[in-house]
Chain A
Amino acid sequence: MTEADVTHSDIPGDRPDGMEGVIADWASDQRAFKNVPWGKAMMWIFLLSDTFIFSSFLISYMTVRMSTVVSWPNTSEVFALHLFGTDVPLILIAIMTFILISSSGTMVLAVNYGYRRDRKLTTILLIVTALLGASFVGMQAFEWTKLILEGVRPWGNPFGAVQFGSVFFMITGFHGAHVSIGVLFLLIIARKVWRGDYDEGRRGFFTSRKGNYSVVEIMGLYWHFVDLVWVFIFAFFYLW
């Protein structure tokens, strides 16, 4: 390859793929993320930082659970619900998992219909996503109430190791806060799609830049991330 071959065109479709593409895109004096809007790149970087926050929580949970010499409460029993005459293990958590996955499904459809400029369907799908998210938060509130009434506190609980309570409230609380903020923003974006802000290029709040339908995709990234975090919480905290 000669020196001249190293220069690449700036049209995304014309650029090399694979490792050569990584080097070409990250070479100096140009934007690194060729076909990614700045808002999406910034959302990804925010999600990366959030990954570190949640990972730190989960790793500290591992540390306290490994180092305690008192037995860890059996989550299968602690989170069981008494239904139809028997105790069903973890049933509420399972339902919450399915609800969050379904909300991810409706969200990804909303992104798709947004780019097709189908305002009505996009709005409906965003609102359905928000409703599923709100019901998830509602079930979490129910679960918190149940555990608090049973005497679980951040400094102790009747089932076993004291660290159980602090880890539970910290991790599910932080995740629940993320879901709640997501629901709020889903409703804001749904209203803006419904009003046609992204067709007219009306200037948005926060940035006062003209928005387009990539805003729905960026919202989607946040929402899928919330689902992604729940996958890890479900595995490590509830099932382990």
Chain B
Amino acid sequence: MTTAEGQQHPLGIYFKIWGLLFVLSTLSYLVDVLDFQGYLRWSLIVIFMLLKAGLIVAVFMHMVWERLAIVYAILVPTLALMVLLALMALEADYTEFTRLLFFGGGG
């Protein structure tokens, strides 16, 4: 074989990402320890979560080095979940509304 086999990259990048994931996990844990509440808490949690998820998929799962044909085939379909998320959020809102209306806080 003339081309390099599989996904081979310098080890340094893995150690850097490993460290970054530790830092991000510590930060998201600190959100709880420091007892942030409300929108500050939720936005920080989501930011750290997305950064961690992105680093794992991009570097550890080698997505940045793959051809776009497979990157799109795997990542684009997950966007369909956003539709389910929106539908279920609407549904949950409605369920809560009817429970408050008919059970008066007892459901």
Contacts and interface: CB of A to CB of B under 8 A. Distances in A.
Contacts, number: 174
Interface in B89-104: 89, 91-93, 95-96, 99-100, 103
Nearest to A52: B81
B8 A116 contact: yes
A177 interface: no
B56 A228 contact: yes
B46 A235 contact: yes
A214 interface: yes
- Range class of the B interface residue count: 35 or more
Nearest to A101: B21
Interface residues of A, number: 70
A1 B100 CA distance: 64
B88 A60 contact: yes
Interface of B: 3, 5-9, 11, 14-15, 18, 21-22, 25, 28-29, 31-33, 35, 41-42, 45-46, 48-49, 52-53, 56-57, 59-62, 66-70, 72-74, 77-78, 81, 84-85, 88-89, 91-93, 95-96, 99-100, 103, 105-107
Interface of A: 12-13, 15, 17-19, 21-22, 25-26, 32-36, 41, 44-45, 47-48, 51-52, 55-56, 59-60, 62-70, 76, 89-90, 94, 97-98, 101-102, 104-105, 107-109, 111-112, 115-116, 212-214, 217, 220-221, 224-225, 227-228, 231-232, 234-236, 238-240
